[in-house]
Structure 1
């Protein structure tokens, strides 16, 4: 059995689900795309090739093996994009939440049955249907849970709006002993530089007290300021619009000392090293074309 345990973003990782790029299907049509960045590369004819994405994910898996992390992979479904394991589920404390995602992605959850079969069924929680939530918007941080959301009256018109206010209230009810803080995210169906698809596209903690942050990803300046004050201005690495587009905030922590990052993120990687981190650089620029990166591809199960 797997004893789930995740209370933050950076404690030493023991077990994780890493998505797969195998059999991810043909290039989607513009109508089939879920986000504006994918649409941009579909139109340009430079949408990522399966073989290139498999190589990138293999590089990620090899870093996990280097640090003795137990890696689970989904069962490969034919012609199905299963790269972004973070969308389909997430763990807080010792519960695994089955995300209510876009309906045609439900089988992605069923494909992690190797993990689900090894978890106490009472610890697998399916929120009510009106609760829309994806793991990229949910960030446990000790006695806090940070959640990205969009509560505009035009919520339904945004395919990029993935977590609603009902989800914030649901998590609040589930964890009354924690401070659940929500953040209104900037959404665009058409401009990837003006779209924070999930909270981890514009914010992520690293180490024990630092964070990567992009101001324009937040609709409400006071909510952005809350994070600046929470971590302290000297502990923040502020990324610009182009760096947000490249997914600089979507790195992944194996421990408080070790961060996996994209090899082209020179400015960020230099800062991380200056702060004393070990940076494991891997190629991930092809997967980034789908508006997701390292954190999006993983679903931590156990952090020590």
Structure 2
């Protein structure tokens, strides 16, 4: 049996599900776009090619294995985008919480069923239908669970609003010992520079007490200030709208001192190195065109 254990974002990674880019289907139509960044590339004719994305994910797989991580991959579903395994489930402490995702993505969960079968049934939570929640919005950080949401009354109008307040309350109810703090995120169906698709698109902790943050990703200044007070202004690396667009906050920690990043993130990578991190740079710019990056592609199961 798999003994799940995730209590933060950065402890030494032991086991993870990494998505796959093989057979991810034809380029979506404008109507099929899930987010504004994909839409932009569909219209421009620059939507990523499968072969390039497979290469990028292979590079990520190689780095994970270099650090002795057990890597699970979803079973292949023909013509299905299975890159973003973070969307479909999450681990909080020793419990796997299934996401309630967009209906036409449900088969992605079936592709990791062989992993779920290795988890004790009482350690699996399936939310009811009215609960919307995706793993990119949920971060475990010690006694905290940070959750990205959207509190606007026009929530149903945004395909980019993926976690609702029922999702926040669901986590609160099932993890009463945790301090669950929700963050109201800026959403746009059409402007990728004004859209925080998930919390990890505008914030992510690194190391023991540092973080990457985009102030304008939060609808409420109080939410932004909460993180500044918690982490300390001097411990946060502030990114611009352009850097958020390129997914600077969507890196991935293999250990408290090891971070996998995109090789073009020069300013961030220099900052991380100045703070003593080993920075594993890989090419991931093609996958970034779908408004997801390294954290989005991974679903940690065990961190030491």
Task: Tell me which interval the TM-score lies in, with the shorter structure as reference length.
Answer: over 0.9
Partner-residue secondary structure (3-state), 1:118: coil
- Cα deviation digits, residues 169-200 of structure 1 (max 9, x gap): 11111111111000000000000000000000
The gaps in structure 1 that reach 5 residues or longer are none
- Cα deviation digits, residues 22-67 of structure 1 (max 9, x gap): 0000000011110000000000001000000000000000001100
In structure 2, the partner of 1:223 is 223
In structure 2, the partner of 1:244 is 244
Question: What is the rounded CA distance, in whole Å, between the counterparts of 2:123 and 2:30 in structure 1?
Answer: 38
- Cα deviation digits, residues 269-299 of structure 1 (max 9, x gap): 0000000000000000000000000000000
Moved over 4 A (4+): none
The gaps in structure 2 that reach 5 residues or longer are none
Cα offset for 1:71? 0.1
Q: Give 1:74-85 correspondences, 5 Å limit.
A: 74-85=74-85
Question: What is the rounded CA distance, in whole Å, between the counterparts of 1:49 and 1:121 in structure 2?
Answer: 38
Q: Give 1:160-179 correspondences, 5 Å limit.
A: 160-179=160-179
In structure 1, the partner of 2:156 is 156
In structure 2, the partner of 1:265 is 265
In structure 1, the partner of 2:139 is 139
Question: Superposition RMSD on alpha carbons, in Å?
Answer: 0.5
Question: What is the rounded CA distance, in whole Å, between the counterparts of 1:134 and 1:153 in structure 2?
Answer: 19
Cα offset for 1:68? 0.3
TM-score (norm 1): 1.00
In structure 2, the partner of 1:211 is 211
Cα offset for 1:114? 2.0
Partner-residue secondary structure (3-state), 1:56: helix
In structure 1, the partner of 2:19 is 19
The yes-or-no answer on 1:300 pairing with 2:269 is no
Cα offset for 1:209? 0.2
Cα offset for 1:202? 0.1
Question: What is the rounded CA distance, in whole Å, between the counterparts of 1:33 and 1:247 in structure 2?
Answer: 18
Q: Give 1:96-115 correspondences, 5 Å limit.
A: 96-115=96-115
Partner-residue secondary structure (3-state), 1:55: helix
